[in-house]
Structure 1
Amino acid sequence: MAREASELAGRLAREAEAVCRHYLSNGRREGRYWLVGDVSNTAGRSLFVRLHASSRGAAGKWVDAATGEHGDLLDIIGTTCGLTSFREIAEEARRFLKLPRWQREPRVEIKAMRSRDMTKAARRLFAMAQPLPGTLGETYLANRSIDSPVSADTLRFHPRCFYRPDDTDTIETWPALIAAVTDLDGRITGVHRTWLDPGGFDARRLGKAPIDTPRRAMGDLLGHAVRFGSANDVLAAGEGIETLLSLRTVLPSLPVAAALSANHLATLLWPARLRRLYVALDADAAGINAAKALTTRALDAGIEAIALCPLLEDFNEDLRAYGKGPLREMLLSQLLPEDVVRLMGAGPA
């Protein structure tokens, strides 16, 4: 707000006489000043508005000789127009200056800058992380019955990844599984971090660190995903990394994309030549609604969309509960026959 006020006051000062003629219409110019009775635009000569900067002060500053009050042109706009909040005053000042409405343009610019900065930070973090084999990250996946080779180069491990608890300024470090979020051209746009428990596997937390939010993403996520395998005309998409890696564990030739959340699944982008999309459901309200939204978008684009339904909450639960063989058979029964033939006869994508 302070920056916005300073910027607007400066712009108004460059148009000081025009501002005075409009808002202090009962006054008149005398030399380098605009004289009027008071800040409410009463006729008189008590209030002096400096029209040009000099050694004595900046343009746009005013003093009421009768009361000792002083301020800038934003104060004059607020008083003469009967405005009380800064937002209202700023809107009126922008209207007078013929600028875009208050903060709309700066918000877009700030958001874009933050997005670029976060994307750069995400790329740096992924570059700093180490290959997955032989790390706690590989152990974490194995404890969830996921074969680490299916992760290819998309996953890495960081032994001391920064973690900031919510609503605090403290920094902690925990080992973390680092996943690259990429666009359709393979460019890293963000990363997903799963902080891990260095003390070993805990069945309740499934190996995640004992912190409030052991999973967080950063960077440009909208439409993008953590991708495993090279998708062309067929793709399976879902929310969680472990869910999609469970599909790859039993069907290693199936290209998959983890959108990381229900909201992001609904907005996922797909390859231009895609003709069939399998949507891996999470069996909760948010997951089902996101799958419906993605399915509708795909159908509207002329893409065949087919739901893959787990027996439990998600496919990683199914994998851990029933094992690889039963999960594979369950998935094959939900795929189209032509995809079964192709996936069972091909090597890893």
Structure 2
Amino acid sequence: MPSHAADLARRLARNAEAVCRHYLSNGRREGRYWLVGDVANTKGRSLFVRLSGPDHGRGAAGKWTDAESGQHGDLLDLIALNRGFDRLRDTLEEARRFLALPQDSLAPRQDRLRAPRGSPESARRLYAMSRSIAGTLAQTYLQSRGIVAVPDGDPLRFHPRCHYRPDEHSPTETWPALIAAVTDLGGGITGVHRTWLDPSGRDKAPIASPRRAMGHLLGHGVRFGMAADVIAAGEGIETMLSLRMILPTLPMVAALSANHLAALLLPPTLRRLYVARDTDPAGDSATASLCTRAEAAGIEPFVLSPCLDDFNDDLRYRGIEWLRASVRRQLAPPDVARFLALVREGMSTGA
């Protein structure tokens, strides 16, 4: 957290009860805690805020948890969620207003310009406030797509009320969402990808753009396992999760778009690259570009081609046994024994 944000969080924590009375007025104090239904100020007792304690560490004042949703954070996080902010700059300005602090007159000019929405810091906060997908609508959604196994440790989480705004002039809505961490080669989070879901969990939310990413994305991706000498790369998260059903130990990365796939950064230890192409002109172009870059770096490229539009369609409409047989024919011989799981084994690995 930037130093000015950390300082504001500490100041808020020292006035935790006043913060709660202002933003969570439907709650009430009980002992050392403020109890309310949720960050939206619904009546109830699910969310509790610690009103006293040290400035940081275990038992710190201002720390809060929603026992029902699994959300947690500090009072800056609470203000952001309560007010529907998705930019850290807006949250800090709101906190300063609450604390009756003047705007920082020494801030450099560029700090006063309109900050880009969806910064890496906002992405990290959203990911931290999300929870495991086990038993959630996110798991229901993936299962409806034929993805019945998601191993523990995968970078997928669930947020029950993720903010969505159609455009900057529209009010903010909340929908449940599948959250995926975008990371660099070292595993550091640079962004997140959001898939907003219908409350039934059976489809994406009925909104204009149910999939969006934020943060620093170029060169990075949603990583399933850390690559050493072999990796598979493709565009979509569901495409790569479909391949993981039959190749559960092969490290994979979803670049999130054709353009980002073409620009994906490759690990220096890589010796063999599988590119899972989507069957459209953009997918063909991205595949060709990435393979050319791999060859120039001394990496052997292989193209994995689906029968239908992508590998999730193959899984859903042709079945896992058909998918396994199709992919097996496209693997390098050493990787068949190394990575290709029996169907039953592949389906038994999961959360």
Shorter-chain TM-score: what band?
A: 0.5 to 0.7
Q: How many residues align?
A: 237
CA deviations on 1:203-260 (whole Å, 9 max, x unpaired) are: xxxx100000000000000100000012110000000000000000111111110000
CA deviations on 1:298-338 (whole Å, 9 max, x unpaired) are: 11111111110000000000000111111011111100000
Q: For the pair shown, which has the larger CA radius of gyration, 1 or 2?
A: 1
Q: CA deviation at 1:166?
A: 2.9
Asked if 1:276 corresponds to 2:277, the answer is: no
Q: Is the contact between residue 151 and residue 228 of structure 1 (CA under 8 Å) also seen in structure 2?
A: no
The aligned residue for residue 190 of structure 2 is 189
Asked if 1:211 corresponds to 2:212, the answer is: no
The aligned residue for residue 147 of structure 1 is 148
Cα separation, 2, equivalents of 1:241 and 1:277: 17
Q: CA deviation at 1:199?
A: 3.0
Consecutive aligned runs of 4 or more in structure 1 exceeding 6 Å deviation:
345-348
Q: How does 1:1-349 map to 2 (within 5 A)?
A: 114=116, 118-150=119-151, 152-166=153-167, 168-201=169-202, 207-344=203-340
Q: Structure 1: which amino acid aligns with 2:120?
A: T
Q: Is the contact between residue 281 and residue 314 of structure 1 (CA under 8 Å) also seen in structure 2?
A: yes
Q: Is the contact between residue 150 and residue 245 of structure 1 (CA under 8 Å) also seen in structure 2?
A: no
Q: Is the contact between residue 155 and residue 181 of structure 2 (CA under 8 Å) also seen in structure 1?
A: yes
List alignment gaps of at least 5 residues for structure 1.
1-105, 202-206
Q: CA deviation at 1:169?
A: 2.8
Q: Structure 2: which amino acid aligns with 1:242?
A: E
Q: Structure 1: which amino acid aligns with 2:193?
A: H
CA deviations on 1:149-185 (whole Å, 9 max, x unpaired) are: 2373300000000000135331000000000000011
Q: Structure 1: which amino acid aligns with 2:338?
A: R
**Which secondary structure does the structure 1 equivalent of 2:274 belong to?**
strand
Point out the more displaced range, 181-190 or 149-158. 149-158
Q: CA deviation at 1:343?
A: 1.0
Q: Structure 1: which amino acid aligns with 2:266?
A: W
Cα separation, 2, equivalents of 1:299 and 1:258: 20
**Which secondary structure does the structure 1 equivalent of 2:337 belong to?**
helix
Q: Is the contact between residue 150 and residue 248 of structure 1 (CA under 8 Å) also seen in structure 2?
A: no
Provide the TM-score with structure 1 as the length reference. Answer: 0.64
Provide the TM-score with structure 2 as the length reference. Answer: 0.64
Q: CA deviation at 1:284?
A: 0.6
- Using CA pairs under 8 Å that are at least 6 residues apart, name the structure with larger relative contact order, 1 or 2: 2
Q: Is the contact between residue 246 and residue 341 of structure 2 (CA under 8 Å) also seen in structure 1?
A: no
User: Comparing both structures, which one devotes a greater share of its residues to helix?
Assistant: 1
Q: Pairwise CA RMSD of aligned residues?
A: 2.4
Q: CA deviation at 1:110?
A: 7.1
Point out the more displaced range, 316-325 or 142-151. 142-151
CA deviations on 1:84-128 (whole Å, 9 max, x unpaired) are: xxxxxxxxxxxxxxxxxxxxxx99x979x748x710000000000
Cα separation, 2, equivalents of 1:209 and 1:114: 25
Q: CA deviation at 1:277?
A: 0.5
Q: Structure 1: which amino acid aligns with 2:287?
A: A
Q: Is the contact between residue 235 and residue 258 of structure 2 (CA under 8 Å) also seen in structure 1?
A: yes
